[in-house]
């Protein structure tokens, strides 16, 4: 049976919202009914299901653990672009990188989506970090979405998504793909700086740090205040003294309790 629409009762919507919140911290309860309905439809069509209650029963079983992961995946929003919120990269270039004197350097792109953010960071480091070839340099790039991580791993992007990449960077750090339309792959020298991994920010973190810089941008807008506060304080613990945290420009930390020093909009320092 192919569904053309999905009826979702208030009780079912709250069950879905509670599941997503419990496993990912994402808050869907404020006006997100249409989004939940549309994205559940995608999974129902794949599975050939037509019963919301049966689906919810299934994802709450051991056999449904993989489907629960896929459900949370489709509920996430993955808007991103190269050099998004460029002021961060300018500050990184002008202020942060000149201060990095140690051999070991660790960055974390904590919600990397399809890879544009960590690859933007990597290109900035290659251009502006002195003696990068002598550094123990790594950018950890994590995301909850296996779908997005697969795209990041491929690192292939249509030309129209590269409009904010400087022309000189496009020439140096991208390779045009033959027989694949007007698409480009990030050069291996850039990809080699990035380690991709699946991570739910609400779970335990296997890495120990410390990190010099953490990017966690346009993610916390989907979390409630308590979840935001817990996450920000975990970032504090894993950053080195003097390390920087970049958040989205709609994600100021003024409404939560934290120890960070405000530097400029969406930019904080430990």
Query: For 116-131, how does the pLDDT look when each residue is reduced to its tens digit (9 = 90+)?
Result: 999 999 999 999 998 8
What is the rounded distance in angstroms from the CA atom of residue 168 to the CA atom of residue 257? Answer: 42
Q: List, for residues 169-226, the tens digit of each pLDDT value.
A: 999 999 999 876 789 999 999 999 999 999 999 999 999 889 999 999 988 888 889 9
Tokens of 227: 């979840």
Which position has the token pair 């449904």?
64
**Statement: residue 52 has pLDDT above 80:** yes
Instruction: For residues 95-104, give the mean pLDDT.
Output: 94
* Residues belonging to the chain: 270
What is the rounded distance in angstroms from the CA atom of residue 228 to the CA atom of residue 257? Answer: 10
What is the rounded distance in angstroms from the CA atom of residue 162 to the CA atom of residue 183? Answer: 10
pLDDT at 19: 87
**Statement: residue 102 has pLDDT above 70:** yes
Catalytic option among 39, 70, 191, 217? 39
DSSP secondary structure string for all residues of 149-214: HHHHHHTEEEGGGGTTS-HHHHHHHEEEPTTSSSEEEE-HHHHTTEEEEE--TTS-------EEEE
b/e code 22-51 from CB counts within 10 Å (16+ = b): ebbbbbbeeebeeebbebbbebbeeeebee
**Statement: residue 10 has pLDDT above 90:** no
**Statement: residue 6 has pLDDT above 80:** no
The rounded radius of gyration (Å) of the Cα atoms in the chain is: 20
Give ∠ CA 92-237-208 in degrees, rounded to 5: 90
Q: Is residue 39 among the annotated active site residues?
A: yes
What is the rounded distance in angstroms from the CA atom of residue 199 to the CA atom of residue 183? Answer: 28
Sketch out the chain's domains with CATH numbers: 10-75 (1.10.155.10), 86-269 (3.40.50.150)
**Statement: residue 4 has pLDDT above 60:** no
The mean pLDDT of the chain is 90
**Statement: residue 156 has pLDDT above 60:** yes
**Statement: residue 1 has pLDDT above 80:** no
Tokens of 129: 């970090």
pLDDT at 103: 94
Long-range contacts, 260-263 (Cβ 8 Å, 24+): 260/232, 260/236
List Cβ neighbours of 69 (8 Å cut-off, separation of 6 or more): 146
Count Cβ atoms below 10 Å from residue 182 Cβ, excluding itself.
10
119 burial level (CB within 10 Å; 0-12, 13-18, 19+): buried
pLDDT at 180: 66
Enter the pTM of the model.
0.87
What is the rounded distance in angstroms from the CA atom of residue 5 to the CA atom of residue 28? Answer: 20
Which position has the token pair 């140690």?
102
Instruction: For residues 32-46, give the mean pLDDT.
Output: 85
**Statement: residue 29 has pLDDT above 80:** no
Confidence bin at 3 (pLDDT 50/70/90): very low
Catalytic option among 84, 106, 143, 217? 143
Long-range contacts, 34-42 (Cβ 8 Å, 24+): 35/75, 36/8, 36/75, 37/6, 37/8, 39/74, 39/75, 40/6, 40/8, 40/16, 40/71, 40/74, 41/3, 41/5, 41/6, 42/74
pLDDT at 118: 98
């Amino acid at each position: 049976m192919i569904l053309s629409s999905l009826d979702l009762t208030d009780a079912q919507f709250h069950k879905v919202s509670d599941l997503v919140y419990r496993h990912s911290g994402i808050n869907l309860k404020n006006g997100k009914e249409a989004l939940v309905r549309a994205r559940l439809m995608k999974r129902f069509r794949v599975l050939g299901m037509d019963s919301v209650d049966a689906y919810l029963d299934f994802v709450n079983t051991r056999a449904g653990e993989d489907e629960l992961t896929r459900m949370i995946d489709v509920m996430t929003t993955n808007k991103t672009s190269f050099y998004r919120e460029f002021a961060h990269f300018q500050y990184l270039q002008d202020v942060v990188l000149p201060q990095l004197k140690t051999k070991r350097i660790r960055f974390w792109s904590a919600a990397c989506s399809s890879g544009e953010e960590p690859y933007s960071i990597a290109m900035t480091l290659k251009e502006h970090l002195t003696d990068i070839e002598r550094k123990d340099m790594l950018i950890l790039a994590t995301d909850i979405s296996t779908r997005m991580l697969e795209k990041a791993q491929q690192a292939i992007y249509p030309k129209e998504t590269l409009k904010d990449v400087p022309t000189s960077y496009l020439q140096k750090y991208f390779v045009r793909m033959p027989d694949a339309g007007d698409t480009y792959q990030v050069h291996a020298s850039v990809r080699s700086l990035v380690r991709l991994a699946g991570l739910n920010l609400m779970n335990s973190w296997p890495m120990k740090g410390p990190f010099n810089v953490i990017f966690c941008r346009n993610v916390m807008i989907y979390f409630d205040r308590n979840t935001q506060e817990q996450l920000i304080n975990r970032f504090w613990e894993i950053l080195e003294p003097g390390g920087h945290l970049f958040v989205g420009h709609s994600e100021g930390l003024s409404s939560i309790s934290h120890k960070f020093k405000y530097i400029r909009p969406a930019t904080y320092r430990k």
